[in-house]
Amino acid sequence: MKILVVGGGGREHAIIKKLKENQNIKEIFALPGNGGIAADATCVPIGAKDIEAIVSFAQENAIDYAVVAPDDPLVLGAVDALNAVGIPCFGPTKAAAIIEGSKVFSKDLMHKYGIPTAEYKSFADQKSACAYIEQKGAPIVVKANGLALGKGVILAQTVEEAKEAVRSMMEDKVFGESGSMVVIEEFLEGPEVSVLAFTDGTCVKPMVSSMDHKRAGDNDTGLNTGGMGTVAPNPFYTPAVAAQCMEEIFLPTVRAMKQEEREFRGCLYFGLMLTKNGPKVIEYNCRFGDPETQVVLPLLESDLFTIMQACTNGTLEQTEVKFKDGSACCVVMASKGYPQKYETGFEITLPEDGEAEVYVAGAKLQEGKLLTSGGRVLGVVSTADSLQQAVDKAYANVPKVTFENAYYRTDIGKRALSAYNTEA
From ligand GLY, ligand AMP, none, interface partner of 97 (C-beta below 5 to 8 A by class) = none
List the interface residues with ligand GLY, window 147-186 (CB under 6 A): 150
Interface with ligand GLY, residue 285, by CB under 6 A? yes
Instruction: Select from 219, 135, 151 the least CA-distant residue to 409.
Output: 219
- Which residue in the set 50, 72, 290, 303 belongs to the binding site for ligand GLY (CB under 6 A)? 290
From ligand GLY, ligand AMP, none, interface partner of 30 (C-beta below 5 to 8 A by class) = none
Q: Which one-letter amino acid corresponds to residue 235?
A: P
Instruction: Select from 123, 263, 29 the least CA-distant residue to 12.
Output: 29
Nearer to ligand GLY, 109 or 195 (CB): 195
- Which residue in the set 227, 233, 266, 379 belongs to the binding site for ligand GLY (CB under 6 A)? 227
CB of 51 to ligand AMP, least distance (A): 25
Nearer to ligand GLY, 150 or 278 (CB): 150
* Phi, psi values for residue 203, rounded to 5°: -85, 145
**In a 10 Å sphere around its CB, with 0-12 CB exposed, 13-18 middle and 19+ buried, how is residue 352 labelled?**
exposed
Maximum alpha-carbon separation in the chain:
60
Which residues make beta-bridge pairs with 217? 221
* Phi, psi values for residue 329, rounded to 5°: -140, 135
252: preceding bond cis by omega (within 30 degrees): no
Nearer to ligand GLY, 50 or 290 (CB): 290
Interface with ligand GLY, residue 292, by CB under 6 A? yes
Q: How many CB atoms lie within 10 A of CB 85?
A: 11
**Calpha distance 370→36 (Å, rounded):** 7
- Which residue in the set 212, 263, 303, 357 belongs to the binding site for ligand GLY (CB under 6 A)? 212
Terminal Cα-to-Cα distance of the chain (whole angstroms): 48
State the pairing for strand pair 65-68/89-90: parallel
Q: Which residue has its beta carbon closest to ligand GLY?
A: 289
Region from 83-91, 259-267, 283-291, 332-340 binding ligand GLY, contact rule CB under 6 A: 283-291
**Calpha distance 10→30 (Å, rounded):** 12
State the pairing for strand pair 140-144/192-199: unpaired
Nearer to ligand AMP, 189 or 247 (CB): 189
Nearer to ligand GLY, 203 or 332 (CB): 332
CB of 290 to ligand GLY, least distance (A): 5
Q: Which one-letter amino acid corresponds to residue 26?
A: K
Interface with ligand GLY, residue 294, by CB under 6 A? no
Interface with ligand GLY, residue 10, by CB under 6 A? no
List the interface residues with ligand GLY, window 113-152 (CB under 6 A): 150
**Calpha distance 100→79 (Å, rounded):** 15
SS3 230: strand
CB of 291 to ligand GLY, least distance (A): 6
Nearer to ligand GLY, 123 or 269 (CB): 269
From ligand GLY, ligand AMP, none, interface partner of 290 (C-beta below 5 to 8 A by class) = ligand GLY
CB of 101 to ligand AMP, least distance (A): 13
From ligand GLY, ligand AMP, none, interface partner of 289 (C-beta below 5 to 8 A by class) = ligand GLY
CA atoms within 13 A on the CB side of 149: 6
Q: Which one-letter amino acid corresponds to residue 174?
A: V
Q: Which residues here bind ligand AMP, judged by CB under 6 A?
A: 118, 141, 150, 153, 155, 185-188, 192, 214, 271, 282-283
**Using an 8 Å Cβ cutoff, are 66 and 83 in contact?**
no
Footprint of ligand GLY (CB under 6 A): 150, 212, 227, 285, 289-290, 292
